[in-house]
Amino acid sequence: MSLRINDEAPDFTAETTQGTINFHEWIGDGWAILFSHPKDFTPVCTTELGTMAGLEGEFQKRGAKIIGLSVDPASSHAKWAIDIEETQGHKVNYPMIGDPELKVAKLYNMLPADAGNTSEGRTPAGNAAVRTVFVIGPDKRIKLMLAYPMSTGRNFDEIIRVLDSIQLTTKHKVSTPANWKNGDTVILAGTVSDEEGQKLYPDSFKKINSYIRTVAQPK
């Protein structure tokens, strides 16, 4: 079955570079970013893992853990981490899941159903589907799903932007417009009346038309 926004993130137990984890227990009471890559020791993936290593502190500020995954074994990840640090300038301190039997990749629909049952003999081209991102909330439900093609490295600043939006809109009755950045004006939720909006945000409430009302970003 395909996963959808607000589905419970499938739980699993897996080997990682930091030992065996149970995913839901590992998430705990915070947020989690699960991101997969096609294959160890490949150029685009190396830049991605290095970028996430450099951004880990930003995710921590937002109460979010990060965890990587590929269908290579955890022992391969550990060796690759040396290259990542040497070439990208950031040490990988977050765990990387080894998924050589494709169990997690299939659980999260990262691979087609006919992908087989092992990573043995697979090439980067054969793993094209495995470049995905899941943002998972403290309630263990999926808040965001993104999939990227093989040739395109991800913009992880965008993942932080979306996480900021999700956390803001979970707390307040607002939405964020196109190209919103943290601190920008936001859109008042349709469930909030004009009168309530004016009362809540007397200094910034602005009515554009009957269904677009903007306010300053709530604190």
Q: Look up 154 and say whether it is catalytic.
A: no
Assign residue 193 a region: left if phi > 0, alpha if psi is -120 to 50, beta otherwise? beta
CA distances from 178 to 64, 144, 153, 168, 201 (A): 23, 16, 22, 15, 21
What are the tokens at 83?
């290259």
Phi and psi angles of residue 81, each rounded to the nearest 5 degrees, phi first: -55, -30
Catalytic residue from among 9, 45, 102, 111: 45
Active site members: 45
